[in-house]
Amino acid sequence: METVKIVGFATLAAVVYGILHDQVTAHVCVEYFTIAHPPIFPTDSPFLLAIGWGFIATWWVGLPLGILLAATARIGRNGKLGLIQLRRPITLLMAVSGCAALLSGFLGASLVAMQLIDLPGDWGTVIPISQWPAFAFAVWAHSASYLVGTLGGLVVIASTLKHRLGS
């Protein structure tokens, strides 16, 4: 049962993070979701797009994190860890990812606004020029979230393994 709790919490934490993250980015630049993503949801509402994409884009990140973390915490005989010991590291990972996303988003928006860099790919041809800094904010924030979330998830898994081996 503890394994299910760990997997469930990690998945839920990722989904909640994704929805909150996308509430910010969708309200900063709805074009990130209406132009740069396939039209899965028939709406231009930043609120609704953030809920839909926040779920779609994160459950598949949280689930493997939860499975690997649960396996690391529970397989074997001694020193098993439960959700109570893993809740804080998972929550901290989400907070660090959020901070990295905000900082990265502001950096990307600033660099584009100062015309030090262009939008990645061909997005400059389809995104209105007035939205370039906002679009860069969204792109950089999302990129940072995936990078920090993935690397941070591996750090949480490694520190869990280290804790168990040290027990």
Q: Summarize pLDDT for 105-147 with one digit per residue, the tens.
A: 999 999 999 999 999 889 999 999 999 999 999 999 999 999 9
Q: How many other C-beta atoms lie within 10 A of the C-beta of residue 42?
A: 6
Residue 79 predicted with pLDDT over 90: no
- Compute the chain's Rg from CA coordinates: 18
